[in-house]
Structure 1
């Protein structure tokens, strides 16, 4: 029996880093920077005002108060975006807006709230300390400094920084193209009438969404016949251009396990039992040079197996420096049992301090899975845990709130 870590290493080894492509910022959300990106300009690029007010010399306005105001002529108006900013002459102030370039000679900005707001001769009734309300060139980041290191996931803040330091496009790892296939003659497309013994096919929807959440592009292959020759012919015809094939179902020890029967004959896919629950039967290898990961068919087993093996491998190939889900610890609200020798991944609801098991351990309980927001991890050598015991929880996204 293979350990979880051993099978993780097998799956990870199938996927090489993906090629690099340049994409415009508008299309880069959720992608991963492939190379270090230095700042092309400094931020701020020039000294500017942090307030709407008046640029002044502190020596001329520092004594201003309600009882003894200072009155000075306004030499110029400086809105944001002005490029021909005149220097500040002694004995004058410039009216200035937030973000506008600071005139030469000014060392303080007096907020408009401490003046009468005049545009010809302004009355100043108080002034902050010298250097107040000024933004200095390069105080955020200087040109040439590292702005976004390779492996950075591009969210709103990171894309804003990339734009601010001069990038119109960024180098990122190409999204993995993942072919998702669910097997089973009992499966029917949702929306069609069910006959006795039939169920609606859900794994391809589940796995395609999981692929997208991990950063990949999924394409589903539906209702492939449970016949070894037809199965192989159909799959091989669809593999061109795929970076990974993910299958669900057909890998257990019973009869009519079409995935196992078809791929085992090729000699390039290895099937193993992994010491975990749910998700014991697993397979990994290549078909016609394309990496293949075979998952068990029960929906919860498929989901957990994807989370444990496929998702981190995809994210690592995309260049994520931290490909795994966030983990934390929580205390159990109720006692639980776990089979000896298998790592248990139970569904749970985590509220920031404690975790409550959602449903039982059954791998068919997809309604309970949809209500979970974490996986509770019970080690292989633990068979019982009392209420209040501390456990590791893996925070999964996309759960109902």
Structure 2
């Protein structure tokens, strides 16, 4: 018997279940596991539905989940302000400049030329790094821009006596650690540092933008390719034109306005006395008021037991707001349990859905569990820009897969 508490979102999630006889048996037309995976992937969601139904009809498969009866949904949409539109357009223009310079840099470094591509691997790596940085950045940017609307909604929830739970994916810890590594520890009690999604773009330009020179060569058949150039000591030779373009873009990037991360905005607004943070961060930058009454940014270490203590503070009603990332998205309970002091209505805000449907559903399940006083109110968030809707639509499509492969019907992925 195979037992899993997590729903399958891809056919590979069933590839370990050899004893089900899905392949190499008379009940299914698949000779081996590879053939099974390939056939179901080619068939898409419809094939997953048929597979789940056939397994259930043979008594080999059962999928159960908590009912979502009584759970209410209310989309919270953020309309970008004029200033936010200006900032968004500025970053969009900046990425257009980076894209154009990337094409020029690929030619300057001899990765490509007018005749075509000379080094496919280098070109693919450069394009992939650019696209992943672009998607990650705009996801963070839109999430950060939606945060003021979220903060306003949480303020109303507190007045009405409710508890707010905020679900995110990224905490920006890696970015923060890189910036702190550049600052002496004796200055950590009074920081003047910019830790914003803009730094992701700066990191891409400095570490992934193609600046190494390539040289052309011909193989035995006369095909022209290119390969990296190194000096006598084995160091990469830099292309001056590509380096010049990169440095100009770094200067332009520094002039663009910063937008604080969502997690830091929430903690800085409400304070650590109100917000319970359940993430994987080992330290964070918080606002602290000095004896002179002036607020300063300082580094605060978080022990390994911080998540347990923060969760308990929320359940004990000592803190009315809880924000969690993937590190707090499984195995924890934030619902209105009848056995805890905080039995207030949970307003669960899906601020950042991420890319994985199973993780999103796992997160939503933290506030909707058995033995609760009342079900939560789920509030997914979206901005009035197509790029923002794209991230939610990605999760919606993957919920179809989740429903198809677990319940035999694509519409049940998020319905329970």
Task: State the TM-score, normalizing by the size of structure 1.
Answer: 0.23
Ranked by relative contact order (alpha carbons within 8 Å, sequence separation 6 or more), the top structure is: 2
Q: Which structure features the higher share of strand residues? A: 1
Look at both structures and tell me which one has the larger radius of gyration over its CA atoms. Answer: 1
